[in-house]
Structure 1
Amino acid sequence: MLRLVTTSLCLYCQRAQVTPLLLTRPHSVIFQEENQLAVNALYDLSVDISKVRKLKGWVLRQSAVYVSETAALLRDMGASGPVIARVLELHPEAILCNPDQMEAQKKLWMSVCASQKDLVGIIEKFPASFFTSSSDHDNQKANIAFFQTLHLNKRIISKLMASAPHSFSRPVKQNEEMIQTLQKTYLDLGGKEDNMKIWLQKLLTQNPYVLLKLPNALHDNLAFLRNVGFTSDELLRLLSKLKGFVTELNPESMRLTLSYSEETLGCTDAELRQIVLQCPALLYYSVPILADRFKGLLAAGVSMEQIMETPTVLELTTQIVQYRIQKLRSFGYDVRSGSLEVLNGTKKDFEMSYGKLRLRQERPLFNPVAPLRTED
């Protein structure tokens, strides 16, 4: 058991209070030496010490560490040796959390995880979310209880805790305020109460960071969009399609983007609103980004009419568009006369569309009059 100093608090949260021991000599400064016992224990676990030294070298100079206890906790939950090594390389601060705190965290997380295997998977991807300050424990517990009152399933809550840990570390009142704002906004825009749980669950899953935004940002952005002509029904569609990113916008940036888009496309206000409804991402792209994407499409021979018909093509970077257009041209598909829809989607989506087009191009036509070939 590697325990050099007994402490009741996680040293990670005391980092601000712990300063390296400096011995001043003429023309030189000597830093506190590494904790060799900790280094050796990490070596035994196949941890790449060079990575730890490069990214979090201060951890190796702490006197109170719990290397064997941390490894034992993960091992008892089913983590393999390589997984333990990866966790400690990615988040070496884990060895500064005392065993009591780690056990408390394990108990807390198991209240929203289906199995220890699931928890290990979360720790492997988000170790900083599990190995947190002991002072966050009460807030985490209160926030879990709050989200359970919303009837969100455990999988959603654990995903929120993993991907947006700061929203669980802060006072529950702040999350309550944002959730109530989202719910009220949804209902005020005409959303049905029976569908609100599913809507909220999707929103939080797609963008858990919405919880960290200020309610006023949501109010201001929706007020701006209403002023430019969007109806309540359209605003509800935008709020759903933007996956909570509407809270990360601001009226001035949206005004500049909409003004530039309308002028570039040569469309009316009403036409622009329909384009935004098809491609809500248009709202949060800056003018320089849009200018580059318009330029790339026009250089490839695409017309403004085509862009207006398939505005989601603006979600793709210029490099991706150029690559896909070139690949389509390799077997004769000309985007200048065809639909831009084939350019859209993820890499997998494009490859599937590309494969279907190529197969259709290469497949020989069947002639019902031609005699069938038979073996003699």
Structure 2
Amino acid sequence: MWRLIATSLCQRCQRVKALPLNLRPCATLSSAENQQTVEALYDLSVDIQKVRKLKGWVLYQSPAYAKEVGNLLQDMGASGSIVARILAAHPEAVLCHPEQMQAQRELWMSVCPNQKELVGIIEKFPASFFTSSSHNDNQRNNIAYFQRLNINKRIITKLMASAPQSFSRLVEQNEVMVRTLQQAYQELGGEEANMKIWFQKLLSQNPFVLLKAPEVLRENLLFLRDKGFSAAELLRLLSKLRGFVTELNPDTMRCTMAYSQDTMCCSEAELRDIILNCPALLYYPEAILAERFEGLLGAGISMSQIRETPTVLELTPQIVNHRIQLLRAHRYDIKTGSLEVLNGTKKDFEMSYGKLQLRRERPLFNPVAPLKTDD
């Protein structure tokens, strides 16, 4: 919370003593609300009561630039309702100086295809756009670095939006982690020609991967290699699971693997195959796995079915039960049928479920087709 708020405020907020609840003002603290700010927010149809409830301290700051923020967003094509939503969710935006906002606009437009898309990003990630002016140089240097790596502009934009810390820090720190990831890819047998695509996919799936310590990546890869995973298998894991190997540690993986092996009564070789099909087994805590195993078994699913389709462990018991009920309505016996129909996102399941509906509702004959008669 502290870091999110701190990075969202303008430069001078860093020189002011922290308020209770770890909230920093960006400007001079007044004993009464800044009426100019309140009136400007009213004019922009912002939910003032929501602002007072969640971040009321913003209304006591002076100077503030609510009108200027509204004008900037509207000039970029934002509708009145979008401006109101942005400022209700992130009222700290009114504390950033207009020059800083304009500088951010120009910086983001260097990688964003158009202003409409930038407005959409600001609506989802306002704290990433309304950030400290002290980060401008780092943002600019990091953008230039990723462009030199020929990273797609959309991926750079996604990184800036969802993991702004990667761009607010020194470019040298990102360079170290990028080199570590590229070296790991090459050492595990990855083809040089495919490295750019692999790296872009990794950044797209896990924007926070650059914020991890390079040492963690090396330790986790060594641990998994000691557990019998081949270089090719490690590359599959590194490519498949959103950079998970930078978010775990050997101790947690050791406990989770031991629990999974005991529960599924499988050999180490079988467990490796199961993990390659369902890497989530490496990072789900024992308590979550226990709940999911219990839920699946309680629904009548056998352990052998789970071993054959371990990805069902990625679903919560509530989702599993809901999907099973829908399938039973179409006479699909989950105890004897494949668990693949349970898998995937909501959209994936709806497609599988729709096919079952069509199969059940399809007539035995086509009433439109002409009847075959003897000549």
Q: TM over 0.5: same fold?
A: yes
Whether 1:351 and 2:373 are equivalent positions in the alignment is no
Q: Take 1:61 and 1:16, find their aligned partners in 2: how far apart are those partners?
A: 17
SS at match of 1:331: coil
Q: Take 1:15 and 1:233, find their aligned partners in 2: how far apart are those partners?
A: 49
Aligned to 1:293: 292
Q: Match of 2:347, as an amino acid?
A: K
Q: Take 1:175 and 1:225, find their aligned partners in 2: how far apart are those partners?
A: 25
Structure 2 alignment gaps of length 5 or more: 1-7, 20-28
Aligned to 1:25: none
Aligned to 2:244: 245
Q: Take 1:219 and 1:166, find their aligned partners in 2: how far apart are those partners?
A: 22
Aligned to 2:130: 131
- What's the offset of the Cα at 1:353? 0.8
Aligned to 2:10: 12
Aligned to 1:264: 263
Aligned to 1:322: 321
Q: Once the two structures are superposed, what CA deviation does each residue of 1:247-299 show, in whole Å capped at 9, x if it has no partner?
A: 11111111111111111111111111000000111111011111111111111
Identity in percent: 68
- What's the offset of the Cα at 1:121? 1.4
* Larger CA Rg, structure 1 vs 2: 1
Q: Aligned in 2, Cα 1:212/1:323: closer, same or farther, shift over 3 Å?
A: same
Q: Match of 1:65, as an amino acid?
A: A
Q: Match of 1:15, as an amino acid?
A: C
- Contact 2:274–2:307, Cα closer than 8 Å, also in 1: yes
Aligned to 1:339: 338
Q: Take 2:165 and 2:17, find their aligned partners in 1: how far apart are those partners?
A: 25
Q: Match of 1:14, as an amino acid?
A: R
Q: Aligned in 2, Cα 1:40/1:292: closer, same or farther, shift over 3 Å?
A: same
Q: Match of 1:281, as an amino acid?
A: A
Paired residues, what number? 356
Whether 1:153 and 2:185 are equivalent positions in the alignment is no
- Contact 1:20–1:31, Cα closer than 8 Å, also in 2: no
Aligned to 2:220: 221
- What's the offset of the Cα at 1:103? 1.3
- What's the offset of the Cα at 1:234? 0.1
Whether 1:231 and 2:246 are equivalent positions in the alignment is no
Q: Match of 2:296, as an amino acid?
A: L
Aligned to 1:142: 141
Paired residues for 1:1-376 under 5 Å: 12-18=10-16, 32-366=31-365, 372=371
- What's the offset of the Cα at 1:366? 4.0
Q: Over the residues paired in the alignment, what is the CA RMSD in angstroms?
A: 2.2
Q: Take 2:366 and 2:143, find their aligned partners in 1: how far apart are those partners?
A: 66
Aligned to 2:4: none
SS at match of 2:62: coil
Aligned to 1:24: none
- Contact 2:324–2:334, Cα closer than 8 Å, also in 1: yes
- What's the offset of the Cα at 1:15? 3.1
- What's the offset of the Cα at 1:19? 5.6
- Contact 1:203–1:244, Cα closer than 8 Å, also in 2: yes
- Contact 1:140–1:169, Cα closer than 8 Å, also in 2: yes
Q: Aligned in 2, Cα 1:89/1:309: closer, same or farther, shift over 3 Å?
A: same
Q: Take 1:233 and 1:280, find their aligned partners in 2: how far apart are those partners?
A: 15
- Contact 2:9–2:131, Cα closer than 8 Å, also in 1: no
Q: Match of 2:152, as an amino acid?
A: N
- What's the offset of the Cα at 1:154? 1.3
Q: Match of 2:12, as an amino acid?
A: Q
- Contact 2:189–2:235, Cα closer than 8 Å, also in 1: yes
Q: Aligned in 2, Cα 1:61/1:367: closer, same or farther, shift over 3 Å?
A: closer
- Contact 1:254–1:284, Cα closer than 8 Å, also in 2: yes
Q: Take 2:353 and 2:247, find their aligned partners in 1: how far apart are those partners?
A: 35
- Contact 1:20–1:61, Cα closer than 8 Å, also in 2: no
- What's the offset of the Cα at 1:373? 10
Q: Take 1:20 and 1:189, find their aligned partners in 2: how far apart are those partners?
A: 48
Q: Take 1:20 and 1:140, find their aligned partners in 2: how far apart are those partners?
A: 26
- What's the offset of the Cα at 1:14? 3.1
Aligned to 1:3: none
Q: Take 1:20 and 1:32, find their aligned partners in 2: how far apart are those partners?
A: 16
Aligned to 2:26: none
- Contact 2:330–2:356, Cα closer than 8 Å, also in 1: no
Q: For structure 1, which segment, 221-230 or 241-250, has the greater mean C-alpha deviation from structure 2 after superposition?
A: 241-250
- Contact 2:174–2:210, Cα closer than 8 Å, also in 1: yes
- Contact 2:34–2:60, Cα closer than 8 Å, also in 1: yes
Q: Take 1:54 and 1:210, find their aligned partners in 2: how far apart are those partners?
A: 34
Q: Once the two structures are superposed, what CA deviation does each residue of 1:42-101 show, in whole Å capped at 9, x if it has no partner?
A: 101101111111111111101111112111111111111111111111111111111111
Q: Match of 2:253, as an amino acid?
A: M
SS at match of 1:71: helix
Q: Take 1:292 and 1:162, find their aligned partners in 2: how far apart are those partners?
A: 34
Q: Aligned in 2, Cα 1:20/1:234: closer, same or farther, shift over 3 Å?
A: closer
Q: Take 1:203 and 1:331, find their aligned partners in 2: how far apart are those partners?
A: 39
Q: TM-score normalised to the size of structure 1? A: 0.90
